[in-house]
Amino acid sequence: MKSFEAKVGAFVVVCAFILGATIYFVSLERFNGAHAPYTTFLRNAAGIEPGTAVLFGGITVGKVDEVKPDRTDPTRIEISLEVKQGTPLNSQSVAEVGAVSLMSPPALTISTGSNAARRLPPGSIIPSEETPTLDELQHKVATLADTAQSTLVQVNGNLNNISGDARILLANLNDLTGRTNRSHVNHILTNTDTMVAQLNPRLDQISDQALQLTREANKLVAKMEPTVDNLNTTVGNANQTITAIRQPTQADLVELQKTLSDTRSLISDLQGVVETNAESTHYTIENLRMATDNLNDLTESLKERPWSLVRIKQPKDRQVPKREGDQ
């Protein structure tokens, strides 16, 4: 009986040990596989230390593992962090130092980026953006205060100028609405009323004449309606005539175009013949010129020596007869 109880106790102890080991290893494996490492760099990591919460869109997704100066660039801080596996970090996500509230400790916040952006695999570098410090904000506020003071001084000067211009404008308005000007305006209005009263009969007359002219125009339009109808008929007949002669005219134009094309071809052929026989034509013209010159010479020779047609040699010149007393 005791041996049976001992066996049962040993079995229970072994089962408990196996169950505890299984839970431990499963938890360890789950813990190691549930987080993904990432890295980011900041120039100012005030308040960030190992164990600082990492927020993705305001939700805690991990913590900071290590904070140290960058080996390649000591002017920036390297921050190693781990986030839950499956956190949709993308190339447009930006890491910066932030906080949930004014009283809460600093946290490393990461923006959600864009759903269309490329997902960052574990071990990637998350783009970062520097958060202004209190000193920078105070400096900007001081600069803004100085600028505002100079702006107020300038605005004050402009307001003084505007106030002076307004006073001048009010003075001019007072002069314009004075007693003399009011009486003058009253006189102008009185004259206007008198003029309108005098023009009323003339306006009535003009209205009657315009009405009479409109009636005459209506009568003229009524008389012109048959003429317009005849004109429409004439235009219709002209359209029919044009339609009737259009096709023959087009045929004639086609024939004319063909004739022009044949003429161009003939002229082109003639030009080819002329260009081919240009040298022969030149020789012929040169021979004609020489023959013409020879004929001219022959004509001149015949004019000077007409006897050459019947004699070969030129006769001797006739001597003057001598007188008896001459020797």
List, for residues 243-263, the tens digit of each pLDDT value. Answer: 777 777 888 888 888 888 888
Q: How far apart are CA 195 and CA 202, in angstroms?
A: 11
Q: How far apart are CA 169 and CA 220, in angstroms?
A: 61
Per-residue pLDDT tens for 74-120?
899 999 999 998 899 999 999 998 887 777 888 999 999 999 999 99
Q: pTM surpassing 0.85? A: no
Q: Which one-letter DSSP state was computed for residue 45?
A: -
User: Strand 35-42 and strand 53-56: pairing?
Assistant: unpaired
Q: Identify the residue whose tokens are 């010149």.
A: 317
Residue 217: strand pairing partners:
none
Phi-psi region of 53 (alpha: psi -120 to 50; beta: other; left: phi over 0): beta
Arithmetic mean of pLDDT, 197-203: 78
What H or E segment, with its residue span, contains residue 65? strand 59-69
Q: In Å, how far from its chain's centre is CA 181?
A: 58
Q: How far apart are CA 264 and CA 272, in angstroms?
A: 12
Q: Which one-letter DSSP state was computed for residue 92?
A: T
Going through the chain in order, the beta strands assigned E by DSSP cover 35-42, 53-56, 59-69, 77-84, 95-98, 107-110
Q: Is the pLDDT of residue 146 over 90?
A: no
